[in-house]
Amino acid sequence: MSFKELFEVDEYKKMLRVAKKKIKDVSKEEAIKIIDTNFDEYKDRIKKELGLNEDMKSGAFTAWCKENGLMDEDSTDVPCKCIERGLKSEDVHVRKMAQFAANMNNC
C-alpha cells in the first residue's frame, strides 16, 4: 500500500469518527443532510458505513414499533425508546431486530 493510500484510509477513518459524533442524536433525514453538506469526498462511503442509504425502506421492526404505539404512523425513524423496549421483548425475533436497529441508530 502506498503512502497516498495509507493517508486516504487514515483520513477516511477520521472523517467517519467525526460523522458519527455529529449525527449521534439526530433523525435519519437530518443525518443525511449533515453528511451531504460536511463530508463531500467521503459522503457516499460514510452513509453506506452508517446505514444511511436514502433508498433504505422501513421494515418489520418499524412495523412492530408502530403496532405497539412506540412511533407515529408517518414516521420512518425508529426512536431509541422503541429499540429499548424491543431489546427487552420475550420474542427472540423482535430482540434481534431491535439489536440490529440499535447498531444502525447509535442507541
- Return the pLDDT at 50: 81
- Residue 29 sits in the same domain as residue 66: no
For the stretch 91-107, pLDDT in tens is 999 999 999 989 888 77
Residue 55, pLDDT > 60, answer no
- Return the pLDDT at 81: 93
pLDDT-derived band of residue 85, with 50, 70 and 90 as boundaries? Answer: very high
Task: Average the pLDDT over 5-15 and give the result.
Answer: 79
- Return the pLDDT at 57: 52
- Residue 43 sits in the same domain as residue 74: no
Task: Average the pLDDT over 25-29 and give the result.
Answer: 81
The sign of the CA dihedral 58, 60, 66, 70 is: negative
Is residue 54 included in any domain, yes or no? no
Residue 73, pLDDT > 70, answer yes
Average pLDDT across the chain, whole number: 84
Task: Average the pLDDT over 65-77 and give the result.
Answer: 86
Beta-carbon neighbour count of residue 26 at 10 Å? 14
- Residue 39 sits in the same domain as residue 8: yes
Residue that is written with C-alpha cell 430482540 in the block: 95
CA dist 36 and 52 (Å) reads 11
Task: Average the pLDDT over 24-47 and give the result.
Answer: 84
Domain carrying residue 101: 60-105
Q: For residues 15 and 47, is the Cβ–Cβ distance under 8 A?
A: no
- Residue 45 sits in the same domain as residue 65: no
Q: How many domains does the chain have?
A: 2
